[in-house]
Structure 1
């Protein structure tokens, strides 16, 4: 195995580390809110997504596979594999309370999907896009929740005045 092979593998590892850090930021927010999937889960999902995409790229570069048989990797198939795997994890975070119309965990399931996509972006080396998507996700999870609580409190006060 040549120096270039090692360099490519180290690049995939770096991409995976970046994905894990970004996924960890989102997971930390979920952890602070005591949600069913937190810091470690989000890190691992983002890292696995980046690693799977990076592995696909390494396979394309592997000259040991050069022969009459052409090895092709469809990047969208890799993404589909990530999404299929993440769907099971996301489904496990959603709970319906017995005897109630309340469903809990949908936002966490959505955040797991988002970190998987962020991991895919890192695997394809779109680090800026991944970082900005992480910032947008954190904005949605924190700032919008604050606005929702504020609007709900105002609506309660309005109802109390009317009663």
Structure 2
């Protein structure tokens, strides 16, 4: 392999990794421009090492045919290790916060960048350029499409202190139904020392709900506390 071709593959890996990483950096994601460039570059280097090792083994066998059974070169093994290794890096970008999971797209983009880097290092230019263009297009365009046409929900957990159990629980059920809020889980913790308000027993419940994006959790809390039987409502 000529030196200029090695340089071309390295620069192409940096370019494609940078294009995808720029979109992630622009959106303030955990893994941004430098991370994507390094992943793509590293994958390309591993592929180049693999190509060189195959060439060396081939030349050695041509010079010494009697050593053919002693030399083996698995052209896909090192690349496979790169792909699996990126999984650990991607796991570091995934965060669990208040019932929602963030960072999956960034983890996926790191994995894709690694695969593209392998393709660049192996010399599959058209495949790598096409895949890189598709990745950038997906990250930029489909996000706007999802925001406009795909209805998403926020996962929120409410803590509610209340009196008059039956009436309050019925009110909560009616309110959530009216607002299009889906209740996924309800907990009624057992308290050793229940509070009392004007001789009424105060109960506590925890609601895990799916809230449409157009609803504000602050407005929901305000609406809930307007009920005379609800002492307090907050997000946990």
TM-score tier after normalising by the smaller chain length = 0.7 to 0.9
Partner of 2:38: 44
Deviates more, 1:79-88 or 1:42-51: 79-88
Once the 2 structures are TM-superposed, how far is the Cα of residue 135 of structure 1 from its aligned partner? 1.0
Which portions of structure 1, spanning 4 or more consecutive aligned residues, are displaced by more than 6 angstroms?
A: none
Q: Distance in 2 between matches of 1:71 and 1:22?
A: 35
How far does residue 17 in structure 1 lie from its aligned partner after superposition?
Answer: 1.7
- The offset of 1:152, in angstroms, is 5.2
Written as runs of structure 1 = structure 2, the 5 A alignment for 1:8-157 is 9-62=3-56, 68=67, 70-97=70-97, 100-151=98-149
Q: TM-score, normalised by structure 1?
A: 0.81
What is the root-mean-square deviation of aligned Cα atoms in Å? 2.2
Structure 1 or 2: larger strand share? 2
Which structure is larger by alpha-carbon Rg, 1 or 2?
Answer: 2
CA distance in 1, matches of 2:128, 2:144: 24
CA distance 1:76–1:150, shift in 2 (3 Å): same
Distance 2:76 2:92 in 1: 25
Larger % of helix: which? 1
Matches of 1:107 and 1:71, distance apart in 2:
41
Is contact 1:42-1:115 (8 Å) kept? yes
TM-score in terms of structure 2 length: 0.57
- Structure having greater relative contact order (Cα 8 Å, sep ≥ 6): 1
Name structure 1 gaps, 5 residues minimum: 158-163
Residue pair 1:13, 1:51 contacting (<8 A) in 2 also = no
